[in-house]
A and B are shown apart, each in its own frame.
Chain A
Amino acid sequence: MTINNNYRPQTKIDYSSYLYILPAFIFYILFVLFPLGDTLITSFTQWNGISEKKWIGLENYSKNLSNKKITSSIKHSFILIVFYSFLPIVIGLLIAGIMIRVKIHGMATYRAILFLPQILSMIVVGISWRWIYAPKGPLNSGLDFIGLENISRAWLGSFEFALPFVGLIGTWVMFGFTMILFIAGVQKIPTELYDAAKVDGAGAIAEFFNVTLPNLRGEIIVALIFTVTLALRNFDLIYITTGGGPGTSTMIPSMFIYKKAFQMNQVGSASSLGIMLTLLIFTLVSLILIIFREKK
């Protein structure tokens, strides 16, 4: 430990500085910590929302784990991770990679257009895409026009296609975010590294994998955490487009939380599912941080 002579020894703590964070802290307690604790307590009870809470221990949790509809909805969430997280990151990297090699006039305009889905309300996005995927919507009209009547169908009403097609909406929404993130990251990479790569005779692909990708690790972690979290807690898009249907083919845990709390009078059970989802997200985020941590 080095001794810093300019370091002012704190003989007394200046409590007034805590006043600055007090308002934010009060809001944090009121709107984050308190509801979280309340949800945790509720998750161990049987409660219809207005009655007395009845303590039932871990029963809600064990029932959730043995409910096949819930476990299959978690599977759906993992499939959605591919569409919400994996695809947008690949697409974002691709665009960032191209950006380095090719100068495009009016790039700022393209960037703004590609980023647009990210700033639209999910409700607007959901309603628009429901129209695009409708039996007589633009997608099917387009397919019919190019002679592919055979594959046109009610995409969101199909037991096989509803989930991937909802997922693709997520891809469309998220890739603008990853793209902006990676483009910003690329601009911070020293150009000397690219010059050196060129001198060493690296082509576009070698340059991408040896220079761009390793230097974007921080951005990729941020993108992963953000998009994986969204894939798991996503509610509005499914609610607007399919409501979990047809059947249970696009059911996800957050839809169950909503249905249990507001349709089935099972607020305790809904809370336990919420806690389980929080733990799942926490675990996955931790895994991402561990896997991608800087190797010393």
Chain B
Amino acid sequence: MFLIFIYIINNKYGGFVKKIFLLTTSLFFFSFGSNGETLRILAEAGDEATLTVAVSQFEAANPGVTIETNYLGWDDFMSTIKLKMADNNPPDLAHGNQGFTVDGTLIQSGLVISLEKYANQYAWKDSFASGALSEFMWSDDGSTWGSGSLYGVSPVAEDVIVYYNKEKLNSLGLSVPTTFAEFENALKVSKDAGELPIALGGADGWPIIHVWGLVEGAFVDPNQTRSWIFDAKNVQFDIPNRISAASKLADMASEGYFGSDSLGVGYDDANAMFINGEGVFNLTGTWMTADFNSGMGDNVGAFAMPTLDGAVAGGGSFALPWHISSKASNPDLAAKFLNHLMSNDFVDDLMGVGRVPAKSPTINPTSNLQAEVIASSNALVGANAKTFYTDWASPGMYDTVTQELQKVIGGAATAQDFIDAMAAESVN
């Protein structure tokens, strides 16, 4: 190849090609020669608004520092992040994803560093209840999850809660349910009145994980669910309470609480339906808050799913973790930027871009919905009732749980089939 290139350079067009060659190589060398500090960030696209604010603040406060941000949409990000971090010239700071599939692999391969040193320096752990950051904790060989050293942090909370159409709930003579039985009754009343009880985009599969997380949470102690997710191989999945939860989900489907077409509707379409007044409830994540608020205004409310005994339950976690690359030229600078995101001063900025901060904000919510969402989130944090997402449990779990849940919703499998398939995948 190189010989061909030399040949081209030396032929009659050589002068032009040679100039381009020299120009590009010199650019290549000079780009390594600049003196200012540069921090390179690769983020999932959902964080663009947040980072735009943070980057301009940080650059203003730290003259001479340049931050380069790159964004990739969810699918592209998740399918390439491990390769990008394994590259010889990886980003200094990048998102990962909780679980063995991404975070575990990055730690096992030594591609990201422990953040313990910086967590102590900046007192990150002090802001949260003990154990609250366990989803970011790993053994240093990346083999066990849920305890050990801190490998990631995030300033943002994402909770799975229940959004509802206020007008419809009122006209049905219902109030916000405070126990799971009341929630079930509200579904029945909605159905009997000819309303679609729950707007669900089951065609995409993963939205059903959120529904399952809430029903499971109503029946199963959150500690049991979390310990299963951290160590699915050794913690039993098919416990009686979880079997009851699965039966309940199957009953809800056969009662028609998700409508008859939910497996043919995608997540975005289901949310559009809900915004346009179809569906009394929508069981989804707090990342939808801004969209619902702009689409429905004061007609939308939110609450944390009540359990059988009137406590609260929910899926959800922190947002995607930030990791510092083990090849970062200046990890201290990366940590300093991370601390900017984690700082108390930035909490209100997170509110401003419509996210739910993991720490309590000091400013008032910008809308009724945001107030109710933050109240729900606080209730879940206060009860230590967040149960993450079922698919975190193993690399093959996403496939199994989405497929099996679609079967339950479509009536193609029983609750017991679901439990058996999940228990088998747990030890796979």
Are A264 and B262 in contact (CB-based, < 8 A)? no
Complex contact A247–B406 (CB within 8 A): yes
Name the A residues within 8 Å of B333 (CB-CB). none
**Closest A residue by C-beta to B259:** A135
In the complex, B358 has a CB within 8 A of chain A:
no
Q: Which of A43-51, A77-85, A270-278, A284-292 contacts B (4 or more CB under 8 A)?
A: A43-51
Interchain CA distance A130-B410 in the complex, whole Å? 18
Q: Say yes or no: is A172 at the interface (Cβ < 8 Å to chain B).
A: no
Residues of A within 8 A of B260 (CB): 153-154
Contact A50:B83 (CB < 8 A) given known A157-B263, A243-B204, A259-B399: yes
Q: Are A245 and B205 in contact (CB under 8 A)?
A: yes
The 8 Å CB contact of B82, one of A26, A49, A247, A264, is A49
Minimum distance in angstroms from B298 CB to a CB of chain A: 27
Whole-angstrom distance between the Cβ of A81 and the nearest chain B Cβ? 23
Q: Is B407 on the interface with A (CB-CB < 8 A)?
A: yes
> How far, in whole Å, are A133 and B204 apart by their CA atoms in the complex?
15
Q: Say yes or no: A133-B101 contact (C-beta < 8 A), given A157-B203, A246-B410.
A: no
Residues of A near B399 (CB, < 8 A) are 259, 263-264
A156:B264 contact, CB within 8 angstroms: yes
Starting from the known contacts A48-B82, A156-B264, A264-B101, 17 additional A-B residue pairs (CB-CB under 8 Å) come to A23-B4, A48-B105, A49-B82, A49-B86, A135-B265, A157-B261, A157-B264, A157-B410, A158-B410, A243-B204, A245-B203, A246-B203, A247-B406, A247-B410, A263-B101, A265-B105, A266-B395
Residues of B within 8 A of A157 (CB): 202-203, 261-265, 410
By beta carbon, the residue of chain B nearest A136 is B261
Q: How far does the Cβ of A22 sit from chain B's closest Cβ, in whole Å?
A: 8
Contact of A246 with B407 at beta-carbon distance under 8 Å, contacts A50-B109, A263-B101, A265-B395 already known:
yes
| Chain B 127-138 per-residue mask, 1 if CB under 8 angstroms from chain A, else 0 | 000000000000
Which residues 261-290 of B sit at the A interface, judged by CB distance below 8 A? 261-266, 269
Residues of B within 8 A of A266 (CB): 395
**How far, in Å, is B407 (CB) from chain A's closest CB?**
4
A residues 137-186 with Cβ under 8 Å of B?
Answer: 153-159
A262 proximal to B (CB < 8 A): yes
Query: Do residues A134 and B264 form an inter-chain contact, with CB atoms below 8 A?
Result: yes
**Bound Cα distance A48, B83 (Å):** 10
Size of the A side of the interface (Cβ < 8 Å), in residues, is 31
- Interface pair B111/A248, CB less than 8 Å apart: no
B203 touches A242 (CB 8 A): yes
Number of A-B contacts (CB under 8 A): 98
Query: Which residues of chain B have C-beta atoms less than 8 A from A245's C-beta?
Result: 203, 205, 263, 402-403, 406
Contacts of B204 in A (CB 8 A): 243
The 7 tightest CB contacts between A and B, nearest first, are A154-B264, A157-B263, A157-B264, A135-B261, A154-B261, A262-B79, A50-B86
Closest chain-A Cβ to B246's Cβ sits at a distance in Å of 15
Could you tell me the distance between the alpha carbons of A245 and B264 in the complex, rounded to whole angstroms?
Answer: 10
Q: Please name all residues of chain A whose beta carbon is closer than 8 Å to the beta carbon of B101 when the two chains form the complex.
A: 263-265
**Counting chain A CB atoms within 10 Å of each CB, which of B79, B100, B203 scores highest?**
B203
Residues of A close to B86: CB separation below 8 A = 49-50
Establish whether residues A50 and B263, one from each chain, have CB atoms under 8 Å apart when the complex forms. Answer: no
- Distance A157 CA – B259 CA, assembled complex (angstroms): 12
Could you list 15 examples of A-B contacts with CB < 8 Å? A48-B105, A49-B86, A134-B269, A135-B265, A154-B263, A157-B261, A157-B264, A159-B407, A159-B412, A243-B204, A245-B205, A246-B410, A247-B404, A262-B79, A263-B399
- List which A162-220 residues lie within 8 A (CB) of chain B: none
For residue A50, which residues in chain B have a CB less than 8 angstroms away from its CB? 82-83, 85-86, 105, 109, 111
Q: How far is the CB of A241 from chain B (nearest CB, A)?
A: 9
For chain A residues 236-264, which have a beta carbon within 8 Å of chain B?
242-248, 259, 262-264
Please, which residues of chain B bring their CB within 8 A of the CB of A48?
82, 105
Nearest CB in chain A: distance from B91 CB, A: 15
Looking at the assembled complex, report how far the CB atom of B261 sits from the nearest CB atom of chain A, in whole angstroms. 4
The residues of B that contact A153 with a CB separation of less than 8 Å are 260-261, 264
Is B413 in the interface zone, CB < 8 Å from A? yes
**B407 contacts across to A, CB distance below 8 A:** 159, 246-247
Interfacial chain B residues near A26, Cβ < 8 Å: 1
Q: Given A135-B261, A155-B264 in contact, is the A263-B395 Cβ separation under 8 Å?
A: yes
Q: Which of A23, A49, A157, A265 has the largest count of B CB atoms less than 10 A from its CB?
A: A157
Shortest A102–chain B CB gap in Å is 40
- Chain A nearest CB: distance from B350 CB in Å? 29
B109 touches A133 (CB 8 A): no
0/1 interface trace, chain B 83-116, chain A, CB 8 Å (1 if under): 1011000000000000011000100110100000
Considering residues B111, B260, B399, which has the most beta carbons from chain A within 10 angstroms of its beta carbon?
Answer: B399
B396 at interface (Cβ–Cβ under 8 A)?
yes
The CA of A22 and the CA of B7, in the complex, are separated in Å by: 14
Tell me if B105 and A246 are in contact (CB < 8 A). no
Distance in Å: Cβ of A123 to nearest Cβ of chain B? 13
> Would you list which residues of chain A between 17 and 56 have a CB under 8 Å from chain B?
22-23, 26, 48-51
CB distance from A185 to the nearest CB of B (A): 40
Q: Does B398 contact A (CB under 8 A)?
A: yes
